[in-house]
Amino acid sequence: MKLRYLLPVLFGFFIMGFCDIVGIATSYVKTEFGLSETLAGLIPSMVFLWFLIFAVPTSLLCRKFGRRKMVIAGNLITVVGMLIPLMVFTFPACLCAFALLGIGNTILQVALNPLLTDVVDGKALSSSLTAGQVIKAVSSFSGPFIVAFAISLSGNWKMMFPVFAVLSILSALWLALTPIKEKSETGSTSVKSVFSLLGDRFVLMLFLGIVCVVGVDVGINTLAPKILMERCGLPITEAGFGSSVYFLCRVAGAFIGTFLLSRISDRKYYLFHIILGLAVIAVMFAGVSEKIMLMILIGGTGYAFSSIFSVLYSQALKHIPEKADEISGLMITGVFGGALVPPMMGVFSDMTGSQAGSLIVIAAFALYLLFCGIRLKKA
């Protein structure tokens, strides 16, 4: 591994974390336009829906144009999305901006993960992918602070978007100036052949696991400020830091996981964390309303689910290593789980009249992840 090649790839994971600003942004947009919980749930969906539509085609384009070029393209699409709210600020314009953010992020996630395999030893894949998730989580953690900084300077939370645009441009330039020798994959492929991999029961299980873990991640990120406002009566500016607590603990969990996953089996690591996550969700559902305790529980979910994605993804790559691009496209398609959970949470929340309804949805998806953990390979 040479840092010259590794660093620009890892910086791409920082840009990848921008999709998580949708958690705090949803609360601001909901307040600004007076949206219901159900309608506000469409905002995260606009980010994650595109993983279902574009992930597999992107994996095919990676073969044609190369992974590095596709990452650069994803950065540039992100820049366009970040500029829209500065020019037009209406609810449809916000949906369009988050849609472009989702499309750019889809390309980044599909192309970056296999690009990382071009610059690291395959034996360290789980820990390397987890290191990337650490950086992504740092980016996610920074989001609410960037919003608070923008408000302190201009009184307008929308001024966070130029910051994200500039960072995306820097990432694209850095990678464009870094020549990386990519591993070529032999044989032809198509959208049909990629989805045919779901005929493998183990791959299908991992794919559905990705759907669930991203759904849980986006769900908790979206829920954190809302549950703090509901149960503790906090203003939105203060409640937004609940998302930062969540991502801070994800950073800690992913950082620890980077070392532990190179020493213990994926299965043991995974099972401990998913059981911890379910326990924390159960306590949160019990109706805790004390601010510090809620923050601890939110942080606990961040730690528990910090490396679940990396384990599922690396197990898929190790299962069929000769089809890295196709597996990447298929697994990243599962990120559309982030589009499924928020609207379901909104419906359940409106039905029950509280955020406890949202926790029911998150718990259901987490239970499937426990099933996946039992079936994981020990290596």
pLDDT per residue as tens digits for the range 56-72: 888 788 878 888 899 99
In terms of Cβ atoms closer than 10 Å to its own Cβ (0-12, 13-18, 19+), residue 201 is exposed
Which CATH architecture best describes the domain 3-178+189-375? Up-down Bundle (1.20)
Q: How much is the average pLDDT of 312-331?
A: 81
Number of residues that make up the chain:
379
pLDDT at 307: 82
Cα distances from 110 to residues 64, 105, 145, 317, in angstroms, run 14, 9, 28, 13
The pLDDT confidence band at residue 187, using thresholds 50, 70 and 90, is low
Q: pLDDT (tens digit, 9 = 90+) per residue, 118-166?
A: 787 655 666 667 677 778 878 877 777 777 777 777 777 788 888 889 9
pLDDT at 195: 85
pLDDT at 186: 55
Q: How many CB atoms lie within 10 A of CB 249?
A: 23
Cα distances from 352 to residues 301, 347, 355, in angstroms, run 23, 9, 8
| pLDDT surpasses 70 at 168 | yes
pLDDT at 91: 84
pLDDT at 126: 61
Q: What is the mean pLDDT of the chain?
A: 84
What do you get for the CA distance between the two ends of the chain, in Å? 23
C-alpha–C-alpha distance, residues 103 and 78, integer Å: 8
Q: How much is the average pLDDT of 204-230?
A: 89
pLDDT at 124: 60
pLDDT at 42: 79
pLDDT at 158: 80
Taking the model in full, what pTM does it have? 0.75
pLDDT at 39: 79
| pLDDT surpasses 70 at 291 | yes
| pLDDT surpasses 80 at 188 | no
101 or 118, which is more confident? 101
Residues 6+ apart with CB under 8 A from 181: 118
The pLDDT confidence band at residue 189, using thresholds 50, 70 and 90, is low
| pLDDT surpasses 90 at 75 | yes
| pLDDT surpasses 80 at 206 | yes
